[in-house]
Structure formats: structure tokens, C-alpha cells
């Protein structure tokens, strides 16, 4: 319609089923860290298009499941520490390896 091309409109779509809680939590961290990893912000709370501030209790919003967060993290601070801990990037847990896309 607008004569646009690019990765959004071309190539195969890949998806995987999230069947383990461990993977879900690591995926949330990965998504929340993306703006920081891409050098778009210096602080994750600066990224306006994320619900990360809701996860850590810095902003009110409806796009967050507080019950899910409380299931895995005692406090908002413990989730913040989990997200900011970069050790996951250096060594991925073995039980998550089957979820990685082929390169």
C-alpha cells in the first residue's frame, strides 16, 4: 500500500511456545533490558514504551500482572536487581537453550 519494505514486512516469522516459568521470567528481563542494550537510554525507567516502571513500582499502569511478579519476586526491588544483573548475558542457563532461535 505504501511501497515499504524491510524486516517487518519480509522474511519468515519465528515464534516459540513459552512452556516454563523460568523462561517467561528471563524473557521479561530480556524485553525490559532491550532499550538499555541498544543504547537508547541510560536508565530503563526513561524508556516510555515499556511497562518496566510498573514492574518496579515507579509508575501506575494497567499493562502489568502484579500477581505474576509477586509469585517470583518478593519485592519490586528484587525484580529491579534481577533485570540489572547482566550475568545472564554471559552464560545462559542450560534449561533455556532449547528456546533460542537458530542463527
Q: For residue 63, which of 28, 89, 87 has the smallest C-alpha distance?
A: 28
In a domain, 80, yes or no: yes
In a domain, 2, yes or no: no
Share of the chain above pLDDT 70, in %: 73
Share of the chain above pLDDT 90, in %: 39
d(CA 90, CA 42): 20
In a domain, 34, yes or no: yes
Total tally of structural domains belonging to the chain: 1
* pLDDT for position 17: 85
- Per the structure, the complete domain to which residue 71 belongs is given by 21-87
Q: Model confidence over 50-69: pLDDT tens digits?
A: 999 999 989 888 888 888 88
Contacts 24+ apart (CB under 8 A), 31-40: 32/83, 33/83
Q: Provide the phi-psi class of 20: left if phi over 0, else alpha when psi is between -120 and 50, else beta.
A: beta
Q: Which three cell numbers stand for residue 41?
A: 537510554
Name the pLDDT band for 18 (thresholds 50, 70, 90).
confident
d(CA 43, CA 46): 6
Average pLDDT over residues 29-50: 93
Amino acid at each position: 500500500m505504501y511501497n515499504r519494505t524491510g524486516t517487518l514486512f519480509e522474511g519468515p516469522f519465528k515464534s516459540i511456545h513459552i512452556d516454563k516459568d523460568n523462561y517467561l521470567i528471563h524473557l521479561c528481563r530480556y524485553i525490559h533490558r532491550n532499550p538499555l542494550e541498544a543504547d537508547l537510554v541510560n536508565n530503563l525507567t526513561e524508556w516510555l514504551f515499556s511497562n518496566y516502571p510498573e514492574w518496579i513500582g515507579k509508575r501506575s499502569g494497567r499493562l502489568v500482572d502484579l500477581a505474576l511478579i509477586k509469585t517470583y519476586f518478593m519485592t519490586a526491588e528484587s525484580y529491579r536487581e534481577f533485570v540489572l544483573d547482566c550475568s545472564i548475558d554471559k552464560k545462559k542457563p542450560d534449561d533455556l537453550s532449547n528456546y533460542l532461535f537458530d542463527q
